[in-house]
Amino acid sequence: MKKPKIRELKEAITSLFSRPFTTEFPFKPHVPAKKFRGKPEYNSDTCVGCGACFYVCPARAIDMSDEVVDGRGKRVLVHHPKDCLFCGECERNCITDDGIKLTGIFDAAYFDEKDVQSRVEHNLVVCKDCGEIIGTEKHILWAFKKLGSLAFSQPVMLSQLMEALEIKTEAEEKVVPPIQRTDALKIICPKCRRIAFISDEKKER
């Protein structure tokens, strides 16, 4: 057996009297560094359900599902830590800058995956004529606030704001086919609005 080198003996003796380089987790809680990229989590108060995080996720760790029943819809966004790369693209591309954030949570072990999933639900705004999804209620109201007074020229935003403020109107929101120009001020998608204007112009001719 070869005798250890003097340098190796020096390193061994030094390590006996120096602080450990690793943490004492799991015996003591570990506090990650300030810029540590841990498990992303949704903020239900600031997330508007736009779906930007879903579209930019390179690992497809975020699921987005829309369900519409009898003119009422629900959008659900779910983050799966088991597939996540912790790259931070979801946080970087969030339109509200605070809808989803990387946290200091690094221990994502689980028996049931639902215990570590982060999810958020939003009400959908659906076209009254064709049933096409326009967006989430919070997303439309968020865009309204960003646009300011310019938003009053957009019928869907105006209708959604009035509904959020619980302002009652005499206009009936139900669209009776064939769609007409008067329906353009109701909650309908861009495609149906275009059809309403075109059909009205044909009648005038």
pLDDT of residue 48: 96
Q: What are phi and psi of 118, to 5 degrees?
A: -110, 130
Q: What is the C-alpha end-to-end distance of the chain, expressed in Å?
A: 104
pLDDT of the residue at 202: 57
The residue behind tokens 């957009």 is 154
Q: Inform me whether the pLDDT recorded for 144 exceeds 80.
A: yes
Q: Confidence band (pLDDT; 50, 70, 90) for 204? A: low
- The yes-or-no verdict on residue 171 having pLDDT over 60 is no
CA angle at 81 for the pair 95 and 50, rounded to the nearest 5°: 20
Q: What does pTM read for this prediction?
A: 0.75
Domain layout of the chain by residue ranges: 30-126, 129-168+175-205
pLDDT of res. 128: 83
Q: Kindly indicate whether the domain formed by 30-126 is annotated with CATH number 3.30.1300.10.
A: no
Task: State how far the alpha carbon of 83 is from the alpha carbons of 33, 59, 62, 78, in Å.
Answer: 23, 6, 9, 12
Contact indicator for 189, 134 with CB cutoff of 8 Å: yes
pLDDT tens for residues 59-75?
Answer: 999 999 999 988 789 99
